[in-house]
Amino acid sequence: MNPVDGCPECQRISAAYEAATLEWFRLQGQLRIAEYSSAESESDSLIAELTAVAKRRQALREAASQHTLAAHSRATGACS
Ligand SMILES: [Zn+2]
């Protein structure tokens, strides 16, 4: 992730990516607790959520690189 200063689309993607990253760490923490307490069904649903968040982060990384190519490939630092 390499957001360009002042570009609202970069900021939007980067903020969504950060939110997904925080969500991923939160779910990891919950999963660890669920595994300690042997809450198997809870672990399963947390793993499913983690997979979904991981996909969202991957999609956002792709969106960021596509946007960078489309909007920032010529000029550095300008959002045209
Ligand atoms: Zn941008």
Ligand 1 centre from 62 Cα, in Å?
A: 13
Specify whether the CB–CB gap between 64 and 1 falls below 8 A: yes
Q: Walk along the chain (80 residues) and give the pLDDT tens digit of each residue.
A: 667 778 999 999 999 999 999 999 999 999 999 999 988 899 999 999 999 999 999 999 999 999 999 999 865 555 54
How many angstroms is it from 39 CA to the middle of ligand 1? 43
Q: What is the DSSP letter of 37?
A: T
So what's the pLDDT on residue 76? 54
- pTM of the model as a whole: 0.79
At residue 1, the pLDDT reads 64
Residue 7 CA to ligand 1 centre (angstroms): 5
- CB atoms within 5 A of ion ligand 1 belong to 4, 7, 9-10, 71, 79
Could you tell me if 79 and 71 are in contact, meaning their C-beta atoms sit under 8 angstroms apart? yes
The confidence score (pLDDT) of residue 79 equals: 53
What is the CA(64)–ligand 1 centre distance, in A? 8
